[in-house]
Structure 1
């Protein structure tokens, strides 16, 4: 099919959730994309903050090809080396003691919300269920993550969403202090807001949130799906603030274009999670974890 036929076929078969320009990309190399008519584009979008090593990175391609020829999927019923090897890297180079794999950023945030809710109700009773999120925040489009995403045009068509969600003003500690109380189970925030306009939190704000969470026995969740993994010059964005969360979520660039998400957490949070509480068929599979090892090792080099 030519370009126009492909675009027409897309409108025939795909749900209209995106408005796309009339371009059909066929391949990429490094920082460049090539369309079906041979035009070359400098890729400033990076797949929405995903292709951290560029397109068709040789080391990444070799790792994925070798893993695909060896083992791609067995589900989470069984042990596989790439899953464990990636987990060891992420734990060793972060605050976390344990992690949970998922397939995207929104799934990682869903896991964070579920684990936070269980931690709070387990320790403090069934009334401690409220989440506090912030103006300008974006955490995903699935039901729980959407409930803590601020923009109304995303939320309103699917209301009612999760109850017990309160929005405070980003970078306003007084507003946060009014929202966080004894019924709050967790506070979720991006250290640097992505869709909100690349807006960094202030050090005073994040330190204040940590203190408020400790005061009210609530967990602090840092959504680093977009701002984490080297994007700020630190491996994790929160390292610039010297504030440690209870849970941190990752996704976007971690596997260089393959679908992955991670929720990293302290042992205290992990202790309340039991077999059957959460799960995923595909998450943390051998192929994506092998790809993520290449990306993480490269980004984690001091000279990257």
Structure 2
């Protein structure tokens, strides 16, 4: 019966949303209510109200957000705060008002304090200050988590928040002004390879530790949350292992086939020293990632090679 439910995936054309849609279709889900950003501006309350009134989705998966790396977050703080709050507030409130039975809110590990104990546990939320370079996005996502928790507490609805670690994969954003670290490295090493293995300059010292999850594994976690009534409101989704940015650069350089020099620009910010997720709660329930980092990088680079004319441009 669940596979006949009408599902609205907000952000279904993005990296996360498209992976979720592919996985659901693969499993036999077929009743989707979908709109792209030109058809439905999720920041516009009136448009979102009209959409819910017309389509009456039974399940909502919120994979819509304005996202970007350190540069984009630091350059456009207002948009990263306000756009994300408008998007999620409209979706969460209309889901409540229209009796949506299950709501899955997708956030980010950046909701946790900059110097929280590692690995990051769900209980660390709101215990200390955030990383300044992405606090605007983080604050928006925290309000989404708390809104879903409040609805769960007050109305008994099955609204759950999944906080993935750093994501990458097919349909990623490789635009150098707005992308995250892993796809940006793929683009930089590839471009340098085409220029006779020119030197590649990367931000920071390379010492921060990061964890990376292939986006198809997050999609499986979303399906897991869809198929089960999770007992708590907030769950980390990751691999539970990390590596340094320098180690990541070496893996990507090898996958791309670049043979030039790597220059580390220590005048640029490193960001949070470490962001490793404690994923024991999801593991205890039965979900675990399947794609290891080396294989995921190879799959992502192959997709990049096949879609080089489709770089996403930053839109503010």
Q: Same fold (TM over 0.5)?
A: no
TM-score by length of 1: 0.28
Larger radius of gyration: 1
More helix by share: 2
TM-score by length of 2: 0.28
Relative contact order, higher structure (CA 8 A, sep 6+):
1
